[in-house]
């Protein structure tokens, strides 16, 4: 299939121009919205209630942190306290403008977003069965005269309980205030990494579009996040021309003027309006607009229009909401070092809650007394939620691992998600086997992916240079011809966005396979890999499923030197929440890759560059190999060698040579590093009494050290000699052939290590 666009050498004199970016175009008020029917009186009252809930909630948190909250005297509150007092109009105006089933992502300053999303989700789901299910387990529905009012109290209770680290919190105390998520309400999680949710939101929107959910993703980010590299990667990702319908994501910058203390205007940027960034990513400036973030009605208007653009296939949209936080970055920050009393007073004079109160009275929605009563009632709800949360259950320390991994897979989906035959562009074909039934390792990769994409249309494949070229090693060549560019497509050179979008897409129901061309580039992704993909399930209370496979390669031996040859598997095995797979043979590669795609956990799937041209017997049919099950590749009695990926092949070669010397070597291939099959490894070492681990990674800090530790722990009584490791030198991979040959464990080095053990 040819590329869509020819890039021709056209050098005509011209200018690049940009459409203007509108600022503060909204000229209406609550009265205008009421008269036009865009906002009802009930909607306006809800705005006040939600904004007051946020204000009272955060004022309570501040008092508790300082030990001055009278209803719970002496209670010690721990945890982060990044308050958004002053920013309530931005949260409520935005969330009120999207649908109850739409998604949001949030920030470390996200209590308000969470309260607003749950509030409006309950407003949109008022069937008795739904409300009863929501309340169940947290209040007795039989005691509720009004199920909605009861559900709203439960929502506030559980939000406060999460800040207190309680089991009844939305994330069972695993996340706390900076990482709160509420998946039943479409809240995909708050993020303590500045800008961390940018790519997740883009991926979630991409996934929602691919699944035809008709949902929009509202991505709240702070002004400081716009200076982070992932912001630019996410903007570019969402604006790609190859997404013909446009990605339905609204990036809403809550510009409260300061990162922590760094000021956006006049200090850490060169622009006055952060919405100007939209001009860099598509011809319509991402429909960028600057709005008054202190007016909930103005925010509601802008986000309503943005949501309509997204639903009509014209996303993404970039909005900048000018707002202000009255308090410091955290409660340890009194703001005096970097902002003036004059500035603070000017913003407080246009307080968003005072503004909505006056508007409600002015336009005869509520009387002054009714406004006061509603605010008091909401403050009482927050007090009740706080007392309830303080008395809630502390998590059981024995359940610390609960939520880290899920044991579910897509094995039993049947034909529910099968790709319709008429969506296949050409007839799928299998690689021709040789007379022994063998194919190349790289053909096993493509075959596994092809079968899973036919079986499940939620599976998509993307990465750098994947579509036409098949990746740097041609391992996925031909798949685009079968499935087309909507399911096999090129990614920009944006490794962080590749991983982050895979996380986001998987959270809304897709099953992405994303490629990071060389594991050396994993360092470019480490926030999205280590802080997002790995942690989101556990951090959000075990509610999220992230069935994403990140394919990457390790290597060496091709003269690629220090940035394309490393074996960095220990980098990802160090992060709890990731499964790590490293197959050595074509048979294992196909079976393990298929199992990985079906697993509902995030998986780093490591392919070795030298293995791509290795041949092995591989059945055409459907089969999987369970993750976490090692393979005894060769039986022996004298020494156990544990090796994986390409080192397995060298270990087997060494074992064959040593057999001629009368040394019987048992070779165990873990195949999966996380989870590690300690039982099979221990059984072998208990039999032989000696263990050698072979690694292509540098010696210091390699995963082999962990294997050695577990062998010592499990096999101490059986060991007749110290556990040895044969590994690369503690240097970056060198380019020159003599140096590279010296660096990579050879058959001779492995054999020498075995001899030493056998003679000890």
Q: Tell me the β-bridge partners of 607.
A: 553
Pairing, β 438-440 against β 615-617: antiparallel
| Cα(322)–Cα(329) distance, integer angstroms | 17
| Cα(487)–Cα(462) distance, integer angstroms | 8
3-state helix, strand, coil in the chain (%, to 5): 45, 15, 45
| Cα(377)–Cα(53) distance, integer angstroms | 10
Neighbours of 671 (CB within 10 A): 28
Identify the CA nearest to 709 among candidates 729, 696, 693: 693
DSSP string covering 610-627, please? GGGG-EEE--SS-----T
- CA angle 277/333/327 to nearest 5° reads 70
Catalytic annotation, pick one of 300, 564, 608, 610: 564
Q: Contact, 374 vs 45, CB < 8 A?
A: yes
Residue 155 designated active-site: no
Q: Give the tokens for residue 658.
A: 């040593």
Find the Cα–Cα–Cα–Cα dihedral 516, 521, 526, 529, rounded to 10°.
10
Q: Contact, 548 vs 573, CB < 8 A?
A: no
Q: Give the tokens for residue 639.
A: 């020494």
Q: Tell me the β-bridge partners of 616.
A: 439
Pairing, β 579-581 against β 672-674: antiparallel
| Cα(643)–Cα(747) distance, integer angstroms | 12
Query: For tokens 């209803």, what's the residue?
Result: 71
Please state whether the peptide bond connecting residue 87 to the residue before it is cis, i.e. omega within 30 degrees of 0.
no
| Cα(651)–Cα(644) distance, integer angstroms | 9
Beta strands in 677-717 (DSSP E): 691-698
User: What are all long-range contacts of 368-376, with beta carbons under 8 Å and residues at least 24 apart?
Assistant: 371/48, 374/45, 374/48, 374/49, 374/52, 375/48, 375/52
Q: Give the tokens for residue 738.
A: 């003599």
Neighbours of 254 (CB within 10 A): 27
- Measured in degrees and rounded to the nearest 5, phi and psi for residue 602 equal -70, 135
DSSP code for 674: E
- Measured in degrees and rounded to the nearest 5, phi and psi for residue 723 equal -70, 135
For residue 283, what are the contacts with CB-CB under 8 A and spacing of at least 6? 19
Q: Give the tokens for residue 214.
A: 């008709």
| Cα(529)–Cα(550) distance, integer angstroms | 9
| Cα(317)–Cα(299) distance, integer angstroms | 14
Helices of type H across 15-163: 30-36, 41-65, 88-95, 111-124, 128-135, 147-163
Q: Tell me the β-bridge partners of 182.
A: 187
Q: Give the tokens for residue 126.
A: 């008022």
Query: For tokens 């080095």, what's the residue?
Result: 749
| Cα(223)–Cα(226) distance, integer angstroms | 6
Q: Give the tokens for residue 20.
A: 């203007």
Neighbours of 137 (CB within 10 A): 9
DSSP string covering 76-90, please? ---S-----TT-HHH
DSSP code for 258: B
DSSP string covering 95-119, please? HTTS-TTSEEE--SS-HHHHHHHHH
- Give the residue numbers annotated as catalytic, written as ranges: 564
């Amino acid at each position: 299939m040819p590329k869509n666009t020819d890039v021709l050498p056209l050098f005509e004199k011209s200018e690049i121009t940009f459409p203007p970016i509108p600022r503060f175009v909204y000229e209406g008020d609550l009265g205008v919205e009421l008269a036009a029917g865009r906002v009802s009186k009930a909607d306006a009252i809800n705005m006040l209630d939600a904004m007051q809930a946020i204000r009272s909630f955060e004022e309570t948190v501040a008092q508790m942190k300082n030990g001055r909250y009278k209803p719970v005297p002496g209670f010690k509150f721990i945890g982060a306290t990044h308050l958004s007092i002053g920013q309530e109009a931005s949260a409520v105006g935005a969330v009120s403008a999207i649908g109850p089933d739409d998604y949001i992502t949030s920030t470390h300053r996200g209590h308000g977003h969470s309260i607003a999303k749950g509030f409006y989700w309950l407003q949109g789901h008022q069937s008795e069965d739904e409300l009863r299910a929501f309340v169940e387990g947290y209040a007795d529905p039989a005691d509720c005269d009004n199920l909605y009012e009861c559900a709203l109290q439960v929502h506030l209770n559980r939000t406060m309980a999460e800040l207190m680290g309680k089991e009844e919190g939305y994330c069972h105390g695993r996340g706390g205030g900076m990482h709160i998520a509420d998946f039943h309400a479409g809240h995909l999680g708050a993020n303590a990494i500045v800008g961390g949710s940018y790519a997740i939101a883009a991926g979630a929107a991409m996934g929602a579009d691919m699944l035809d959910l008709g949902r929009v993703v509202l991505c709240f980010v702070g002004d400081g996040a716009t200076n982070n590299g992932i912001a630019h990667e996410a903007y570019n990702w969402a604006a790609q021309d190859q997404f013909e319908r446009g990605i339905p994501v609204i990036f809403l910058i809550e510009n409260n003027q300061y990162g922590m203390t760094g000021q956006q205007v006049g200090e850490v940027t060169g622009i006055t309006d952060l919405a100007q960034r939209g001009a860099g990513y598509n011809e319509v400036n991402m429909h960028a607009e600057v709005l008054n973030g202190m007016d909930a009605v103005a925010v509601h208007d802008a986000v309503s229009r943005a949501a309509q653009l997204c639903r009509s296939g014209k996303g993404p949209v970039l909005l900048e909401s000018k707002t202000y936080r009255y308090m410091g970055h955290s409660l340890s920050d009194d703001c005096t070092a970097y902002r003036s009393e004059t500035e603070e007073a000017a913003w407080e004079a246009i307080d968003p809650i005072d503004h909505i109160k006056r508007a409600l009275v002015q336009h005869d929605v509520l009387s002054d007394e009714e406004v006061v009563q509603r605010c008091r009632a909401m403050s009482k709800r927050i007090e009740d939620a706080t007392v309830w949360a303080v008395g809630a259950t502390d998590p059981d320390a024995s359940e610390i691992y609960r939520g880290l991994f899920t044991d579910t897979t897509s094995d039993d989906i049947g034909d529910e998600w099968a790709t319709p035959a008429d969506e296949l562009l050409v007839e799928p074909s299998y690689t021709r086997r040789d007379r022994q039934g063998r194919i190349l390792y790289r053909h096993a990769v493509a075959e596994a992916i092809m079968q899973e994409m036919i079986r499940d249309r939620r599976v998509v494949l993307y990465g750098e240079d994947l579509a036409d070229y098949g990746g740097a090693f041609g391992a996925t060549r031909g798949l685009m011809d079968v499935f087309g560019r909507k399911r096999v497509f090129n990614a920009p050179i944006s490794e962080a966005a590749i991983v982050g979008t895979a996380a986001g897409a998987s959270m809304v129901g897709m099953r992405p396979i994303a490629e990071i061309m060389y594991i050396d580039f994993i360092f470019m992704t480490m926030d999205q890999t280590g802080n997002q993909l790995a942690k989101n399930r556990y951090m959000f209370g075990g509610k999220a499923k992230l069935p994403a496979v990140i394919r990457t390669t390790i290597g060496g031996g091709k003269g690629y030197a220090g940035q394309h040859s490393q074996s960095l598997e220990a980098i990802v095995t160090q992060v709890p929440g990731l499964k790590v797979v490293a197959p050595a043979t074509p048979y294992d590669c196909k079976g393990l890759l298929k199992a990985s795609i079906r697993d509902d956990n995030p998986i780093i799937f490591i392919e070795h560059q030298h293995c791509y041209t290795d041949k092995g017997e591989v059945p055409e049919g459907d089969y999987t190999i369970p993750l976490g099950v090692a393979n005894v590749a060769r039986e022996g009695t004298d020494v156990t060698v544990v090796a994986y990926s390409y080192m397995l092949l060298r270990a087997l070669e060494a074992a064959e040579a040593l057999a001629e010397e009368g040394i019987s070597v048992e070779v165990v291939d873990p195949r999966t590093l996380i989870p590690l099959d300690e039982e099979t490894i221990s059984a072998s070492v208990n039999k032989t009494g000696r263990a050698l681990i072979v690694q292509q990674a540098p010696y210091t800090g390699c995963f082999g050290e962990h294997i050695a530790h577990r062998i010592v722990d499990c096999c101490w009584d059986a060991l007749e000699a110290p556990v040895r490791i044969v590994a690369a030198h503690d240097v970056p991979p060198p380019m020159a052939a003599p140096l590279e040959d010296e660096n990579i464990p050879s058959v001779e080095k492995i054999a020498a290590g075995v001899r030493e053990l056998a003679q000890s």
